[in-house]
Amino acid sequence: MKTIIEPFRIKCVEPIRMTTAAQRERILREAGFNVFLIRADDVIIDLLTDSGTGAMSSEQWAGIMRGDESYAGARSFYHFQDRIQELTGFAHVLPTHQGRASERILFELVGGPDKVVPNNAHFDTTRANAEHSGATAVDLPIPEAGDPQNQHPFKGNMDVAALERLIAEVGAKRIPLVMVTVTNNSGGGQPVSLANLRAVREVCDRHELPLFLDACRFAENAFLIKRREPGMADKDVREIVREMFALADGATISAKKDGLVNIGGLLLLRDEELLHRASNLLILTEGFVTYGGLAGRDLEAMAQGFEEVVHEDYLAYRIRSVEYLGEKLTAIGVPIVQPPGGHAIYIDAAAFCRHIPVERFPGQALVCGLYRSAGIRAVEIGSVMFGGKSTASPAGAPPKRARLELVRLAIPRRVYTQSHIDYCIEAIAEVYQRRDGLRGLRMTYEPPVLRHFTARFEEV
Ligand code: F0G
């Protein structure tokens, strides 16, 4: 098979500022060993997130000029709405400024104290918005998702038996909706199968519960269904996308991922009554229903992005470039979450740095090692992000720990070429060879909430 090439030419370039190892050493120390506190100009390859970091196409930039900035009834809104209706089959489309705005509106309407929201795995803003309403967020991933080496093709699947048990335990009345995140970001960018979505739908039907998708990475999920699910290879990705959305009563979407834009979100609904209530909340804090906190030009860019993302040449390149990074790292012995998912490779930092105990943050040590040696910015998804003392923990209780100590290398869409990825592979191989030299960290400043963003460390 020939190399799968980037299916685009580059018309506009953004220079990367190179740094020396000595400069990076100083920058890392000044930032308290926290890469969130480093300026982006001081990063050579930025793999912090795939959210809002993609490159737009010439057609999207043309759409930016065509944007209609009318307050109400803008042409750009109708263009956007038509595209989304055609893609998803949803009649009601509300634009929002990003995914968490859709989540906030949805959970203000259906959440509340005493409510329980099941999900295969909540993303942190989804969990925070459900909990902000007073509800309890429950993750129900399949057991295979807990084992980084397990090669299950759909590790994003929801544990259907566990969902049944939860409903029996708390009662359907306390569950306002069931949510499924496609692909599962917190669990390694792993896809959810159509068979699993159908099984969850069947449980929802039996208990008269609505099913919602957190569908930021719906196109990557659909392409992985085409590749991995028996009988799906000959289906058009668009057909699979329609089937996924047809199973749901609603969806929250951050367009900063598979919408191929730098800002934007959506709330999709079927229920008229919920639509009216959501529209009123939208007007209260986001904007009128035909712009939802965005400019008309943003709606044009989204309309075109949601069209381009289901092109199969794009998805073949996208999924292959992530898989390529995963395969090469596996070949040199770097432990990663298997199999490679849609938008990122997750390194198993506990296995990478066996000499660093969890309380010395092996993931953060690896993140610092990657920045020091090559200017690569990755993100720790482990006990820095999910650990620490919760306000509810009794005095003297040991700090919480994450389930897994991971480092995410998220790949921005259409931004880096294969030689950038090769550079990362070489750099990670070098850090892996010298892994015994990585040093654990102690937190010197611990903010009370979302501590990973602003915490400071020193090396031990
Ligand atoms: N749901 C999932 C599965 C996400 O990954 C994100 C964002 C959101 C919801 C929230 O969307 O940022 O537009 O408000 N994930 C980013 C990340 C931030 O880096 O994974 P948003």
The C-alpha angle 343, 345, 347, rounded to 5 degrees, equals 155
Check if 129 has its Cβ closer than 6 Å to any atom of ligand 1.
no
Ligand 1 pocket mutation, candidates 102, 185, 345, 406, criterion most atoms within 8 A of CB: 185
φ, ψ (nearest 5 deg) of residue 404: -135, 150
Ligand 1 pocket mutation, candidates 126, 214, 257, criterion most atoms within 8 A of CB: 257
Over residues 90-128, the pLDDT tens digits come to: 999 999 999 999 999 999 999 999 999 999 999 989 999
Please give the sequence-ordered ranges of beta strands (E in DSSP) within 53-172, or none if there are none.
92-96, 116-119, 136-139
The H-or-E segment that residue 214 falls in is strand 211-214
| CA–CA separation, 178 and 116 (whole Å) | 9
Over residues 407-429, the pLDDT tens digits come to: 999 999 999 999 999 999 999 99
Instruction: Kindly list the structural domains of the chain, giving each domain's residue range(s) and its CATH number in brackets, ordered by start.
Output: 21-50+311-459 (3.90.1150.10), 58-308 (3.40.640.10)
Mean pLDDT value of segment 424-445: 97
CA distances to 155, 333, 349 from 214, rounded to whole Å, are 16, 33, 27
Tokens of 221: 């999920």
Check if 259 has its Cβ closer than 6 Å to any atom of ligand 1.
no
Over residues 165-207, the pLDDT tens digits come to: 999 999 999 999 999 999 998 878 999 999 999 999 999 999 9
Which residues make Cβ contacts (< 8 Å) with residue 338, sequence separation at least 6?
Answer: 148, 149, 150, 151, 326, 330
Span from the CA of 183 to the centroid of ligand 1 (angstroms): 11
Q: pTM (2 decimals)? A: 0.96
| CA–CA separation, 53 and 101 (whole Å) | 19
